[in-house]
Structure 1
């Protein structure tokens, strides 16, 4: 059984040895044995886990990656694959949202408006999230005669754009995207179209990154004898 030094794994994956230790502390790689002097003894199986983490996290995020690898350590392959399946369903749902936004932009009307409850039902976004987004300035509503909050058609589009950021892996690009949504002027059609295009690019990139991650997940499963 070949023993591999942490520094060699770190160099190969272009991360630090402290990052390797943090993965171990999170319980997403098996605990390595220790030498008589206390040094960690990594083997090929550990390398496969580390490679999988580095490959999967850009497309799936650390939370999903961690959940999947913890299932694999318990030999629960089907449970791990259902977690992956749910993440990829979210990608398709985001694609549908982008199509909805484009349709709304083509048929934008100034008259139509909806209450917070109606928006929540149509978008499956909790009213508490809508209130938070309004508090943070991402969207705006107006009070009606009955004192209810109403979102116009353009604000509804901004709400759908914000929903697209929910499944995205946290990154500087997503932070910037949310700032662009916040700064959209009322009925800025071209600005909204530009953001939709950027959302599509982010989604395409996520799909590609997930495919890359799945390749290394397959390799790990093969190493563990789970395929």
Structure 2
């Protein structure tokens, strides 16, 4: 692009494989810098805008648009360290999810093998389950409320009590959710596990691990475009 020239919305849309309406949406959401207009009112994008859109397109694939938006708003304000810490936190959570998925495979393939954290008690409280699995208590309660997870109640105080089997079930649910399965599909898959279709369950859990690896690769591509954007802005 020659100095003084601008890029039309259609130019950017064709270059990055995105519709012009999507470009306008991202602009209205505050994900890119202000866009100058021609005397006739048409948008005039610059190479800086192109770098932002490329970053949105590619980071969104691996991190999702919500987190990508949070990162780019920090970048727009010049808070580069804050943007990088948002990414670091997201990848820390992704690593935790990967460990949960690995544990799901281990529980399915070798159900009698001692697990990290020691032997499981026959009746565990929700706090103990959270410590064992890293799954949020709010998610566990929700799965119980919608009938995805069946648990017993303490006859004295009404507290939920979890068995080792229900803990394994929670780990599998979390793994499937991370892999993108909806709740109705997960319910069907849990039924198959209950019917002793363990081979099918192992295949699903391993497939979930593969999807996590693919997502990590997409994140790497997204980070490449974030680096390009920061170079364009003179921040790297």
The TM-score normalised by the length of structure 1 is: 0.86
Give the equivalent residue in structure 2 for 1:139. 149
Cα RMSD of the aligned pairs, angstroms, is: 2.4
Tell me which residue corresponds to 2:209.
200
Cα offset, 1:50, TM superposition: 0.3
Aligned ranges 1:41-120 → 2 under 5 Å: 41-105=44-108, 106-108=110-112, 112-120=122-130
Query: Shift of residue 113 of structure 1?
Result: 4.1
Distance, in Å, in 2 between the alignment partners of 1:140 and 1:95 is: 25
- How many angstroms apart in 2 are the aligned matches of 1:137 and 1:191? 22
2:171 matched residue in structure 1: 160
- CA gap 1:207/1:220 in 2 versus in 1, 3 angstroms: same
Q: Which ranges in structure 2 are unaligned for 5 or more consecutive residues?
A: 114-120
* Count of aligned pairs between the two proteins: 221
CA distance in structure 1 between the partners assigned to 2:136 and 2:98 by the alignment: 20
The more displaced of 111-120 and 77-86 is 111-120
Cα distance between partner residues in 1 of 2:46 and 2:211:
36
Distance 1:60 1:165 in 2: 18
Rounded to whole Å, the distance in 1 between the matches of 2:15 and 2:146 is 42
The answer on whether the counterparts of 1:181 and 1:195 sit within 8 Å (CA) in structure 2 is: no
Higher mean alpha-carbon deviation, 140-149 vs 21-30, is at 140-149
Structure 1 counterpart SS, 2:124: strand
Shift of 1:211: 0.7
Decide which moves more: 156-165 or 12-21. Answer: 156-165
Pairwise CA distance, 1:116 = 3.1
Q: For 1:182, which of 175, 187, 199 is the aligned residue?
A: 187
Aligned to 2:32: 29
Secondary structure, aligned partner of 1:211: helix
Alpha-carbon separation, structure 2, partners of 1:63 and 1:112: 40
Task: Give 1:219 deviation, angstroms.
Answer: 0.6
The alignment's TM-score, normalised by the length of structure 2, stands at: 0.83
Contact 1:154 1:187 in 2 (8 A): no
Task: Name whichever structure is richer in strand by fraction.
Answer: 1
CA contact (8 A) 2:105 2:206 kept: no
Q: Measure, in 2, the Cα distance between the counterparts of 1:195 and 1:143.
A: 30
* TM-superposed deviation, 1:84: 1.0
